[in-house]
Structure 1
Amino acid sequence: MAIADEIAARLTGEFLDDAGDRLARAQIALNKLANRPKEARPLLLDLAREIHNLKGTGKTFGFPTISLIADRFEDYLEANAEKTPFPIADLQRFADALSDIIERGRNPEADRATSILRGLPSVFDFDPEAISGQPGRALVITRARTLGHMLARELANCGYRTQTASDPFEAMRFAVAEKPDIVLSSAVLDGMSGIDLLRAIRSIRPTASLPTAVVTSFDAGHPELAGLPKEVSVIRLGKTLSDDLALVLTNAGEVSRA
């Protein structure tokens, strides 16, 4: 084995050992949460700390799916921290997904990773009795967790399950693999602009026909919106957000039926 390969293998092994230890501590916190709900606050902090560390190291060591699951785990923890009774069973699904990858010792292939992510609990889900037909699937890309939660809640009210992402490159991969019913992106992201991301999605064959929209507080003509494709809708942050989103979803439904 070449020295570089040996170093990479050793680092991967050390990461998996560390990840296994962190997940074991997270599992202990989960078990205690189930049995001692009155002690929830310190246990939630312990759980959040371990999951946050997994999120930060997964991608670095060639396990981007661990980072994606941990990011979703954090979202779910934050959104449900005050919920009674606490959704232990849902949190266990996140922990089990992480455990499966760590035990296998390799990052899953794209199709398997997509299946795992789709099977995780959603922060906001729709009321099946309030909609007709099949639920929609939305991809929301934003670096602001609060905005992601707000959009996911609005989308749930319209019968959409939402996958959120903060990394535009991971979002691009997900869009190609999953082909959601609609893609919403903030104008400002880390790594590339939301405008560039939406242009990329519209420019390649697998995703060229996906309904897309940018979510922004910028006025028309702002430099940050330069290059926005004419096919990309605009959703304004503020009092018109719900109306703008409803119009975009209506148009997206018409496109999907065409």
Structure 2
Amino acid sequence: MVPPLPNTLAVSLMSLPIDADDLADQLRVEFRDDAQDRLALIYQTLDKRAENKLTDEEALVLLRREASKLRGIGSSCGFPLVNLIAHRLETYLSGNLSRLNERQIEDVTAFADRLSVAVDREERPDVATTNQIIRTLPVRYEFDITDIEVHDVEIMLVTPSKVVSKLVSTELGACGFRTVVVRDPIESIALAVRMPPDMIIASAVMDGLGGMDLLRGLKAMTPIHKVPMALLTSLDSAVKDVPEGIMVIRVGTNFGDDFAAAITKFNLG
């Protein structure tokens, strides 16, 4: 039996080259559709929590999941501003947050509003504009900020350890500093370049890329080479290997003194 001849039109269509611009446009449309669906779910979750149709625990599970998804698709689809805002939303929702009061619902709504604008934005903002957008996002402190002097200083803490990030960010917060925790040292490079913090602290021991190598690399990058940096370590032997210009902050009983010395040297207090 002679097989049927292939459809000429189908063959010709299959052989047509894919236009890169058309593909990019299609991916942007798909990204926006996905992101807007996730933002709609965030708004719905906040409304249901405000109406007591969801418990705090149920609402937080949904909000954390969607923030993580938005951060992921923002990064993979070429929307760095979406990635940055969603990362800040993740930070806001993390830590000891177990309840959503009226103020926190308003704050998360503000995050969603910013994300909605970023999703529809056609052009990438420059570093200065990005910095301005991110710095105006709500910040949640783990304690009553009326008891301390709050500084307009943002510190990026790069560590995979949840225990270390909890302890250090609590200490930094008690001193009035905002902390952005990044678990992945590779991801921290992109975040630091796009949104330079006022200081970077990196754990000495991390999988894939240690803190010493990370800070050396960051120091060599023009956009952030002037950013104050410090190595967080429990090993006294690491002190002698630290390049000039990078401070050492030892965990444990020495943390307070070492951190104070770094803040004084870099004039951040």
Cα deviation for residue 75 of structure 1 reads 1.9
Tell me the distance in 2 between the aligned counterparts of 1:41 and 1:92.
17
Residue 238 of structure 1 aligns with an amino acid whose one-letter code is: G
Cα deviation for residue 3 of structure 1 reads 1.4
Residue 216 of structure 1 aligns with an amino acid whose one-letter code is: T
Match of 2:86 in 1: 70
* 3-state SS of paired residue (1:156): helix
- The Cα offsets for residues 191-210 of structure 1, whole Å up to 9 and x where unpaired, read as 64322232233335554443
State the TM-score, normalized to the length of structure 2. 0.77
Match of 2:159 in 1: 142
The answer as to whether partners of 1:123 and 1:149 remain within 8 angstroms in 2 is: no
The answer as to whether partners of 1:124 and 1:153 remain within 8 angstroms in 2 is: no
Tell me the distance in 1 between the aligned counterparts of 2:197 and 2:70.
27
Cα gap change, 1:241 to 1:37, in 2 (>3 Å): farther
Q: How does 1:145-184 map to 2 (within 5 A)?
A: 145-166=162-183, 167-174=187-194, 178=196, 180=198, 182-184=199-201
CA RMSD of aligned residues (A): 3.1
Match of 1:104 in 2: 121
Tell me the distance in 1 between the aligned counterparts of 2:166 and 2:220.
28
The answer as to whether partners of 2:48 and 2:54 remain within 8 angstroms in 1 is: no
Tell me the distance in 2 between the aligned counterparts of 1:27 and 1:187.
40
* 3-state SS of paired residue (1:62): coil
Match of 1:252 in 2: 266
The answer as to whether partners of 1:59 and 1:67 remain within 8 angstroms in 2 is: yes
Residue 66 of structure 1 aligns with an amino acid whose one-letter code is: V
Match of 1:36 in 2: 52
Residue 131 of structure 1 aligns with an amino acid whose one-letter code is: E
* 3-state SS of paired residue (1:27): helix
Higher helix share: 1
* 3-state SS of paired residue (1:120): coil
Cα gap change, 1:20 to 1:106, in 2 (>3 Å): farther
Cα deviation for residue 128 of structure 1 reads 6.3
Tell me the distance in 1 between the aligned counterparts of 2:132 and 2:76.
22
Cα gap change, 1:118 to 1:201, in 2 (>3 Å): same
The answer as to whether partners of 2:91 and 2:180 remain within 8 angstroms in 1 is: no
45, 51, 73: which one aligns with 2:61: 45
Q: Percent identity?
A: 32
- The Cα offsets for residues 155-184 of structure 1, whole Å up to 9 and x where unpaired, read as 22223233443422224304xx6461x321
Cα gap change, 1:71 to 1:195, in 2 (>3 Å): same
Structure 2: state its 5+ residue gaps. 1-16
Tell me the distance in 2 between the aligned counterparts of 1:214 and 1:85.
37
- The Cα offsets for residues 93-117 of structure 1, whole Å up to 9 and x where unpaired, read as 2111111111325543332222221
Structure of higher CA gyration radius: 2
Structure 1: state its 5+ residue gaps. none
Cα deviation for residue 233 of structure 1 reads 1.5
Tell me the distance in 2 between the aligned counterparts of 1:195 and 1:140.
14
* 3-state SS of paired residue (1:143): coil
Cα gap change, 1:64 to 1:232, in 2 (>3 Å): same
Tell me the distance in 1 between the aligned counterparts of 2:132 and 2:207.
26
The answer as to whether partners of 1:123 and 1:152 remain within 8 angstroms in 2 is: no
* 3-state SS of paired residue (1:122): coil
Cα gap change, 1:207 to 1:74, in 2 (>3 Å): closer
Tell me the distance in 1 between the aligned counterparts of 2:252 and 2:33.
46
Residue 173 of structure 1 aligns with an amino acid whose one-letter code is: V
Aligned length: 248
